[in-house]
A and B are shown apart, each in its own frame.
Chain A
Amino acid sequence: MEQITILEGRENHLFEKKTGAVQPDISCDTSSLSGSVSQRACVFCGSRVVLYPVADAIHLVHGPIGCAAYTWDIRGAVSSGPELHRLSFSTDLQEMDVIYGGEKKLYHSLIELIEQYKPKAAFIYSTCIVGLIGDDIEAVCRKVANETGIPVLPVHSEGFKGTKKDGYKAACHALMKLIGTGDTDGISKYSINILGEFNLAGEAWIIRKYYEKMGIEVVSTLTGDGRIDAVKRAHGASLNVVQCSGSMTWLAKEMEEKYGIPYIRVSYFGIEDMSKSLYDVAKEFPERPEIMEAAKQIVSEEVKQLYPSLQKFKKALTGKKAAIYVGGAFKTFSLIKALRSIGMSVVLAGSQTGNKDDYARLKEMCDEGTIIVDDSNPVELSKFILEKEADLLIGGVKERPIAFKLGVGFCDHNHERKIPLAGFVGMYNFALEVYQSVMSPVWQFAPRKGVKR
């Protein structure tokens, strides 16, 4: 086989876990290397994914058509009511706008769209080019907000001004402007906001139901099945429960500082972490032991039902090897545990946006010989999938064809998925999907199994 080398400048972004060996900290939190085919996107993408599920707002992309076209209805984030988030709006800047500025076009677009769709708010995303031609988006937003009476929020998401993480921050910044503007009367003392849960395939509904069963009021979900009015009163909650730590920790910290709301980090993937996320919330309300009792009750009932149904999968999958490459590192931790619970080991674990602490923890969790990568690329991923003889890759759309080309099973754990993988029911779906892909007889024809021709 062709020897695949790691690019200069990339060596520090990956290592193989070896006990005893002195291993330097992984290099991360940097922008991608020029010319390396990163699986990451840009600042705009970060903002867009965080705000996307807000369903009663207009999301207007200020720039040439591409950015809006490629993000039109691409996520599995569902809404129980309005569906404005599934439409794509762009100022579709043309050459003349680039020369003379796009402010007028932005203004007219906004006024017309707000009149047509009557949204509760509007998010205006600036793209690369807007950062260059110097449109004063803030001024246009203020003007339109004054004229229409709804919040019109600029999102400074120029693609080149940082990494996807900076986009998360820009989105959270826009959300911070809404939070605190609503009425918090009547919100229970036993209340939370669910942060970083985007309601892919209805996952936020599953989670919300657990918490509500525990007697906890969910003030708002940021941003799954999101509503502007709910966001506005999020500061009335007693606790922030943060999933997808990459995108929302900043917001949780801001809310802690400004409104004194503490936060905890959780994950809803896998039995262990899902249960923990209920217990951890219950622990925050010690004065009400019923909450913990209810949490235990939920876990016990759910696990009793789930556990036997997983055994078939575990039996088939024991000894199989998985590679994980997803957006956030926190998800990687859960997936390692979830895979272990169905008998699988992890030979590669990586993320697009993990930080130093995340990678240190990954190293601690992983088995000897596991490859740990930050901001990887198709060449590296393929190299390690083959070398480590993985049977499964967990990733998103861009990773899927790599797995299938190499004759390896695949589980989609990204924003596009249509099947809920969170919660106890999500664990079942996850195991089923992994089982159906890894155990499919079609791989017998894959060249790596030795069938030549």
Chain B
Amino acid sequence: MKHAIKHAKTATQNACKLCNPLGACLAFRGIENCVPFLHGSQGCATYIRRYLISHYKEPIDIASSNFHEESAVFGGSHNLKIGLKNVSKQYSPEVIGIATTCLSETIGDDVPMIIREYKQEFKNGSPMPIMIHASTPSYMGSHIDGFHAAVRATVKTLAEKGARENLINIFPNMVSPADIRYLKEILEDLRQPYMLLPDYSQTMDGGPWGEYHRIPPGGTPASAIAMAGRASASIEFGSTLEASKSAAGYLEEAFGVPRYHSALPIGIKESDKFFTLLESLTHKERPEKYNDERRRLIDAYADGHKYLFEQRVIIYGEEDLVVGMTALLTEIGITPVLCASGGKSGLLKKSIKELIPDMEELGIKVREGVDFVDIEEEAKLLKPDFLIGNSKGYTMSRKNNIPLIRLGFPIHDRFGGQRMHHLGYRGTQELFDRLVNTVIEQRQNASSIGYTYM
């Protein structure tokens, strides 16, 4: 046979990405009183719920139109309508976030038309929920594309025209509930009215329930999203997120709301840029509290720098997270010898180069569209000091005896992933402490003496 290969390249092995609808479900979860709804087979909803629950430790109900063979042959319109009716009845949602799957996309269901028909057929019923439709075929892109598609579709459905308001839109990207809370705190400290979308800080990381909630409290209200078209500016995190695919891009195009687009603010330099941008947009100075956070962080950089200088790491995950982390790593003297992602925007390398123009001299290699077997192969050659990314790198970490620092999504083998900070001075501080502690722990364990001082 002529296929002489070392490692099978055609199949994806141990994927470093998830499918499109997962991201959409998470984003829809950040709208108040909204039920995510997948137009496809029952399994998609169930698998995605399971996957999200294992990270967030929160109930997450995702409805499904539950295709049968007849729906696949004759179209899913009937099932979708019954599904919408049942969800409306059982959950009384204000919003239903409908995402498609590979199945409904392939048979070519015209979801917007089905929704219009549904509204006609049931117009005399109880209050009609707002219906948002995001096209999320699993055979295109990955979970992060579904996330952005849902955020954009939400704004497209809800944002209205009107007189400019003193309002800033924040589109934070797929960050942790803790990160969202931090961003809200900053805006509130600045006394700046804002519209942050999606806000799953409470729905995916909330308190206990005395009684059953069909939909957990929290999320951005539809009425607030309606105001997005009247905002004075949008701030959107995501280096590889193009305007044509983003919510802020739509608002700029449709309503002339200026889009300020940047990397995830991780590390001092990127956080500084974010705060400076906020100051210029709000004409207010940041509260002293944030300068204190920054000063403590610089102090920590000094205290810990020797542990980290010239450490070599592999960072993997969603492309934007990889870019943000690369900015942090290079400013503290760590070299990301490989920046890898299962995503495939075609913009990863360019985005990193924008932040780190001398990336080649530093020895930073970038690969997109890879799986964990590709990354492991690289790890064997590059021999990094540690790996940085989500839980799914544990297999290669264990096999090759390279420590793993967990961040991002999913964290399935540690506790508290939903409460982990990544953004701003606070998030950077947390990440920095963990990086230093990983090195200290390594050295302590490797030492034959057993120092209690390190």
Contact = CB atoms under 8 A, between A and B. Distances in A.
Interface in A4-48: 4-5, 7-9, 31-45
B92 to A, nearest CB: 10
A257 interface: no
B300 interface: no
A33 B66 contact: yes
A42 B212 contact: no
Interface of B: 1, 3, 5-15, 17-22, 37, 40-51, 53-54, 57-69, 71-72, 79-80, 82-87, 89-91, 101-103, 106-107, 137-140, 142, 208-212, 214, 392, 395
27 contacts: A7-B89, A32-B42, A34-B86, A35-B82, A36-B90, A41-B43, A64-B139, A65-B15, A67-B47, A68-B12, A70-B50, A72-B392, A74-B50, A87-B13, A90-B13, A91-B12, A92-B11, A109-B10, A111-B1, A115-B1, A116-B5, A129-B139, A160-B68, A160-B72, A382-B212, A397-B53, A398-B49
A400 B21 CA distance: 23
Given A112-B5, A113-B11, A35 B37 contact: yes
Interface in A149-184: 159-163
B59 A402 contact: yes
A209 interface: no
Given A64-B102, A66-B138, A73-B395, A7 B12 contact: no
B106 A31 contact: no
A221 to B, nearest CB: 25
Given A7-B86, A397-B53, A94 B139 contact: yes
Nearest to B138: A64
A66 B47 contact: yes
A37 B8 CA distance: 38
B53 A70 contact: no
A439 interface: no
Nearest to B412: A74
Interface in A103-141: 105, 108-109, 111-113, 115-116, 127-129, 131-133
Contacts of A406: 208-209, 212
Interface in A50-83: 60, 63-74
Contacts of B12: 65, 68, 89-92
Question: Which of B103, B212, B395 has the largest count of A CB atoms less than 10 A from its CB?
Answer: B212
B10 A108 contact: yes
Contacts of B82: 33-35
Contacts of A287: none
Given A128-B41, A160-B68, A33 B86 contact: yes
Contacts of A316: none
A159 B142 contact: no
Given A105-B10, A112-B5, A132-B72, A38 B53 contact: no
B15 A90 contact: yes
Contact of B106 (A91, A129, A377): A129
Interface residues of A, number: 87
Interface in A427-453: 445-448, 452
Contact of A69 (B17, B66, B211): B17
Interface string A177-200: 000000000000000000000000
A386 interface: yes
A71 B69 contact: no
Contacts of A70: 18, 47-48, 50-51
A112 B3 contact: yes
B15 A92 contact: yes
Nearest to B84: A35
A400 B43 CA distance: 18
B215 to A, nearest CB: 10
B99 to A, nearest CB: 12
A379 interface: yes
Contacts of A115: 1, 3, 5, 8
10 smallest CB-CB distances across A and B, nearest first, come from A42-B43, A66-B19, A447-B210, A35-B83, A35-B86, A112-B8, A159-B41, A34-B83, A109-B11, A64-B138
A288 interface: no
A65 B8 CA distance: 16
Given A64-B19, A128-B101, 14 more contacts: A34-B86, A41-B46, A43-B41, A43-B43, A66-B47, A69-B19, A70-B47, A72-B392, A89-B11, A93-B139, A112-B5, A147-B1, A398-B50, A452-B210
A43 B67 CA distance: 11
Given A65-B142, A66-B44, A407 B208 contact: yes
A247 B15 CA distance: 28
Nearest to B54: A397
A141 B71 CA distance: 28
A13 to B, nearest CB: 13
Contact of A88 (B10, B15, B59): B15
A401 B5 CA distance: 45
A383 B209 CA distance: 12
A97 interface: yes
B83 A401 contact: no
A68 B17 CA distance: 11
Nearest to B79: A34
Contacts of B65: 34-35
A362 B296 CA distance: 62
A41 B47 contact: yes
Given A72-B15, A160-B69, A97 B139 contact: yes
A41 B43 CA distance: 4
B78 to A, nearest CB: 8
A301 interface: no
Given A109-B11, A382-B212, A131 B48 contact: no
Contacts of B7: 116
A87 B14 contact: yes
Contacts of A109: 8, 10-11
Given A43-B43, A382-B212, A116 B8 contact: yes
Nearest to B206: A405
Contacts of A398: 46, 49-50, 53
Contact of B209 (A4, A133, A377, A405): A405
A91 B47 contact: no
Contacts of B79: 34
Given A160-B69, A400-B53, A129 B102 contact: yes
A379 B43 contact: no
Contact of A37 (B13, B61, B84, B103): B61
A382 B60 CA distance: 13
A352 to B, nearest CB: 10
Nearest to A113: B8
A45 B106 contact: no
Nearest to A73: B395
Contacts of B5: 112, 115-116
A68 B102 CA distance: 14
B66 A31 contact: yes
